[in-house]
Structure 1
Amino acid sequence: MFSGRSLARICGLSLLLFAGFPVLAQTDLETAEALFQEGYILYQKNYSPNAFAKFKEAAKLGHAEAAYYAGNILRRNSTYITPEAEEFYRQAADGGDVYAMLRLAQKGKMCGTLRNCDYDREEWLARAKEIALPKAEAGDLEAMKAVYSIYRVAGDKNAAWEWIQRAAEGGHAFSQYWVAILLDEQEMGFYWTESGRREDMLKWLRASARQGFPKAMRKLAVKLREQGQFEEGRYWIEKMAGTDYYDALLEAGGQIMMGPDVAEVMSPDFSYHFKHPSPVEGAALLLALHREKGKDMPMQLIESYQDHLTPEIMDEAEERSKELLVNTPIIYYLPKFGM
Structure 2
Amino acid sequence: MTRFLSWPLLIALFSWAEPSLAADSAPEKVSGLVLYNQLKINAATQQLQIESNDENSDSQYYLAEIIRKKIRYMAPEAQHWYEKAAQKDNIYAMIQLGRHKNDFCQKIGNCPPFKKTQAEWFAQAKGLVLPKAQEGDPESLYLMYEITLNREWLEKSANAGYSLAQYWMAVSERQGEGFFLIPGKRDASVKKWLLLSSEGGYPKAMMDYLEILHREGDTASIRQWLELAARSGYQVAVSSYGAYISHTPDKLDYPLDLVKGYALFTLLKDLGDAGGIGRYVERKAEEIREKMTPAQIEDSERIAKEWKTTHPPLSFFPDKLGY
Same fold (TM over 0.5): yes
Q: Please show how residues 27-176 of structure 1 align to structure 2 within 5 Å.
A: 38-106=31-99, 108=101, 112=105, 113-114=110-111, 120-152=117-149, 159=150, 161-176=151-166
Of Structure 1 and Structure 2, the greater helix share is in 1
2:291 counterpart residue number: 310
Cα 1:83–1:288 change in 2 (3 A) is same
1:156 counterpart residue number: none
Q: Quick check: 2:241–2:261 contact (8 Å CA) kept in 1?
A: no
1:297 counterpart residue number: 280
Q: Secondary structure at the match of 2:247?
A: helix
- How many angstroms does 1:318 deviate by? 5.1
1 or 2 for the larger relative contact order (CA 8 Å, sep ≥6)? 2
- How many angstroms does 1:149 deviate by? 0.6
TM-score, normalised to structure 1, is: 0.72
Q: How many residues align?
A: 280
- How many angstroms does 1:60 deviate by? 3.0
Q: Please show how residues 156-305 of structure 1 align to structure 2 within 5 Å.
A: 159=150, 161-186=151-176, 188-193=177-182, 195-258=184-247, 261=249, 273-275=251-253, 278=256, 280=258, 283-294=261-272, 295-303=278-286
Q: Distance in 2 between matches of 1:138 and 1:110?
A: 38
Cα 1:285–1:219 change in 2 (3 A) is farther
Q: Quick check: 2:239–2:265 contact (8 Å CA) kept in 1?
A: no
Q: Quick check: 2:263–2:303 contact (8 Å CA) kept in 1?
A: no
For residue 93 of structure 1, what is the amino acid of its counterpart? A
Deviates more, 1:208-217 or 1:287-296: 287-296
Cα 1:214–1:318 change in 2 (3 A) is farther
Q: Quick check: 2:31–2:47 contact (8 Å CA) kept in 1?
A: yes
Q: Secondary structure at the match of 1:241?
A: helix
**Is 1:334 aligned to residue 321 of structure 2?**
no
Q: Secondary structure at the match of 1:252?
A: helix
CA offsets per residue over residues 84-136 of structure 1, 9 Å max, x none? Answer: 1111112222222222122122255786443699x822222212111111111
Gaps of at least 5 residues in structure 2 are: 1-29, 273-277
Cα 1:299–1:281 change in 2 (3 A) is same
Q: Quick check: 2:242–2:265 contact (8 Å CA) kept in 1?
A: no
Q: Distance in 1 between matches of 2:145 and 2:283?
A: 40
Q: Distance in 2 between matches of 1:194 and 1:110?
A: 44
Q: Quick check: 1:64–1:91 contact (8 Å CA) kept in 2?
A: yes
Q: Quick check: 1:93–1:100 contact (8 Å CA) kept in 2?
A: yes
For residue 280 of structure 1, what is the amino acid of its counterpart? L
Higher Cα radius of gyration: 1
For residue 333 of structure 1, what is the amino acid of its counterpart? F
1:26 counterpart residue number: none
Q: Distance in 2 between matches of 1:302 and 1:50?
A: 25
Q: Distance in 2 between matches of 1:62 and 1:226?
A: 49
RMSD: 2.9
1:322 counterpart residue number: 302
Gaps of at least 5 residues in structure 1 are: 1-36, 153-158, 263-272
TM-score, normalised to structure 2, is: 0.75
For residue 223 of structure 1, what is the amino acid of its counterpart? I
For residue 145 of structure 2, what is the amino acid of its counterpart? Y
